[in-house]
Amino acid sequence: MGLPKKRKNLVILKNALATKILIDSTKTAIGVEVEINGKRNRFYASKEVIASAGAVDTPKLLVASGVGAAADLAALGIDVVSDLPVGKDLQDHLFVPVVLTGSTDIGTALPVVDLRTIGFPTLNGFFALNGTGRPDLQIIPFYMDMASPFFAFACANNFNFNDDICSSLINANQKSELFAILLVLLHPKSRGEIKIRSLNSAPEIYTGYFSNADDFETVTAGIRRIINLTETEYFRGFNSEVARANLPACDGLEYMSDEYWECYALQTGTTLYHPAGTCAMGRVVDAELKVLGVDRLRVVDASVFPSMPSGNTNAPVIMVAERAADLIIQQYYGNQNIVTVP
């Protein structure tokens, strides 16, 4: 059943999963198929259909509807409506943690974490390796009290690092406070892919991290920039050093060499949860977010990004949505004075 939210033209369905966009023989989107509490339902559009399931699930929805690479559709036994590179060119902001030791003469952290001491999001920064132009890297620093319960939890649950990594860093945290600096690669050259093996299972995410060697160079240069902090007056005051993570895969390499940091990046690099680009403008949708080769169908989410923004994706997605709203109003209502209700 629907839940109206202060306006007559909005209905929210709970426990509902869109499984297919209904496209007729003229290649026009006419509605959606939705599974609600295990039952299939069809809803028809009076104007158009908007897909907004994100960079991972929008590709699955389009492929299920016959919009995707012809070879991918053939493997699933789906007739081709529009042959487009849906799910290709996945981009994401990955981060690599660099952990510096701090003071050792402070008290153990209290069981209750004071979020004000963590430092995020009040501390945040961006820098270009050449000192000019758009930033190459973002830094997100976290401060951890000595023996911080937050760090132990975040290492395993937020960052999904294995026991070898977490145990070694937790051990370092038992001896000193830590500065965990997340180094974010803002404009990766590497590309991944969302693969749809079956319509009855979740999409498979192939990140493609570091498939382009240039990303190693950028991240390694960024790591060295962060390590230089240990030479500043503040960090020299307590002989700060890099907290060494236990990485068996990197044991045979010279510690802190470029080869070591490349191995380190492969072992610790993980997602900042900013997937984008899988239905990109110019490849899958046009400048008005309309799906190429299909009428009355748009995509409005991060999957339409042709390239990554220099920062978090939340605000740019909101901007895409606002632009989509303007385009839809323009198309169907022209210059009429349309008042939107917040």
DSSP classification of residue 108: P
Q: Using a CB cutoff of 8 Å and minimum separation of 24, what contacts does 329-337 make?
A: 332/47
Q: Are 4 and 11 in contact (CB under 8 A)?
A: yes
Q: Are 156 and 162 in contact (CB under 8 A)?
A: no
Q: Tell me how far apart the alpha carbons of residues 186 and 196 are, in angstroms, rounded to a whole number.
A: 27
Tokens found for residue 317: 């997605």
Catalytic (active site) residue 274: yes
> Rounded to whole angstroms, what are the CA distances from 100 to 138, 230, 234, 269?
17, 8, 12, 17
Residue 94: which of 251, 200, 179, 218 has the closest Cα? 218
Which residues have CB under 8 Å from 42's CB, separation 6+?
22, 31, 32, 33, 34
User: DSSP E strands: which ranges in 170-301?
Assistant: 178-185, 193-195, 204-206, 270-271, 297-299
Query: Euclidean distance between the first and final Cα of the chain, in Å?
Result: 23
Q: Which of 274, 290, 296, 298 is catalytic?
A: 274
Torsion on CA atoms 230, 179, 170, 121, rounded to nearest 10: -160
Q: Are 99 and 178 in contact (CB under 8 A)?
A: yes
> What per-residue string of b and e applies to 38-72 under the rule 16 or more CB within 10 Å gives b?
eeeeeeebeebbbbbbbbbbbbbbbbbbbbbbeeb
Radius of gyration of the chain measured on its C-alpha atoms:
24
Active site residues: 274
